Amino acid sequence: MRTVALSDTVSRESAGAGAAIEAVVIERSTAASSSADPFMTVQPVSKGHARAKTDKTCNVRIIVPFSLCRRRRSPVKGARRESEFGSMMDKTTLTFGEIALPADPFAAFGIWLRDAEASEPNDPNAMSLATVDSDGLPDVRMVLLKGFDRRGFVFYTNFESRKGEEIRATRKAALNFHWKSLHRQIRIRGDVEIVSDEEADAYYASRARESRIGAWASLQSRPLENRETLERRVEDLGSQYGEGPIPRPPVWSGFRVVPREIEFWHDGAFRLHDRYRLTRTGADDWTASRLYP
């Protein structure tokens, strides 16, 4: 496997033992050499989690086919302008002015997430998560994307929180990424699966010890009498577990949003934005349509 990296990532890595941050490495996927499938995954970086956060670096690792590792804002090789097709769009390319993306939603998402990691000052993997309650009343809050591949987009939470209850009842959710520095938005809608216990255990184990205790201590979304009560719970659980292993709370796990639709939006002058909606038409078949802004 050959490793390629963004130039700033290389310098962080080569900063050596004293470097305070984890590198975000973009690696060639083994799948890329054997198949044209633009498979990609995001994996949590297991070490230096807390440091990565303080250093404003997204703690995800993107594995992306080498063929898709392009410089920011450079057009996809061979991309043609939409006008060359009359009113028809090139079915393999989404064009946003000078920017072009493959019309594969996961490949395109990976490229924009990577761009966001290079430009956003904080949490480029932050996304809003929309759910509805049993009355159809919507709710929305931020969560962090902790992985994605062709199966969907994964985040972790307390399953007895409001969002947890709502998702378990409806098995549907929507996500929104807005990267202000890039003037870009990605909207995702779909069905929701629960990640496997092995996947959740692996992610939980990668978290800072304090965050693992916090997952036990926080009865997320339920009324809390005062701050001291929470702090006492954290202290008691800390003494209970000592320096030993901390199991994953049974109510803390991951949801995977399996997309039916993914929309890519790029800001345009005078609100004449570019929008493409990619809609699932089969197990892994997608159709793209340009939308009025």
Ligand X SMILES: Cc1cc2nc3c(=O)[nH]c(=O)nc-3n(C[C@H](O)[C@H](O)[C@H](O)COP(=O)(O)O)c2cc1C
* Pairing verdict, β 60-63 and 93-96: unpaired
Which residue lies nearer to ligand PLP by CB, 103 or 144?
A: 144
168 is catalytic: no
144 binds ligand X (CB under 6 A): yes
Per partner kind, with CB cut-offs from 5 to 8 A, the member of ligand PLP, ligand X, none near residue 162 is ligand X
Out of 161, 173, 276, 277, point to the residue binding ligand X (CB under 6 A): 161
Out of 59, 93, 220, 253, point to the residue binding ligand X (CB under 6 A): 220
Query: From the centroid of its chain, how far is CA 134?
Result: 27
CB of 162 to ligand X, least distance (A): 4
- Which pair of tokens denotes residue 153? 């987009």
Out of 143, 200, 202, 230, point to the residue binding ligand X (CB under 6 A): 143
Which residue lies nearer to ligand X by CB, 13 or 165?
A: 165
Out of 29, 59, 157, 185, point to the residue binding ligand X (CB under 6 A): 157
Alpha helices in the chain (DSSP H): 7-14, 30-34, 49-54, 105-119, 162-170, 197-206, 209-217, 227-241
Amino acid at 203: Y
Helix, coil or strand: residue 2: coil
CB of 228 to ligand X, least distance (A): 20
Helix, coil or strand: residue 85: helix
* Pairing verdict, β 41-44 and 99-102: unpaired
Residue given tokens 């779909």 in the structure block: 190
Catalytic member of 12, 227, 271, 277: 271
219 binds ligand X (CB under 6 A): no
Residue 130 to residue 95: CA distance in whole angstroms: 28
Residues lying near ligand PLP in the complex (CB under 6 A) are found at 144, 156, 207, 211
CB of 106 to ligand X, least distance (A): 20
Residue 217 to residue 213: CA distance in whole angstroms: 6
Helix, coil or strand: residue 105: helix
93 binds ligand X (CB under 6 A): no
162 to 181, contacts with ligand X by CB under 6 A? 162-163
Per partner kind, with CB cut-offs from 5 to 8 A, the member of ligand X, ligand PLP, none near residue 20 is none
Query: From the centroid of its chain, how far is CA 88?
Result: 31
- Which pair of tokens denotes residue 258? 């399996």
Per partner kind, with CB cut-offs from 5 to 8 A, the member of ligand PLP, ligand X, none near residue 235 is none
Whether residue 65 contacts residue 32, with contact meaning beta carbons closer than 8 Å, is answered with yes
Which residue lies nearer to ligand PLP by CB, 42 or 288?
A: 42
Reference 21, options 7, 11, 6; nearest CA is: 11
Spell out, one character per residue from 109 to 138, where the chain touches ligand X: x when CB under 6 A holds, - when not: --------------x--x------------
DSSP 183: T
Q: Which residues are annotated as a binding site for FMN?
A: 141-146, 156-157, 162-163, 185, 220-221, 265, 275
Active site residues: 271
Where does this chain bind ligand X (CB under 6 A)? 123, 126, 139, 141-144, 155-158, 161-163, 220-221
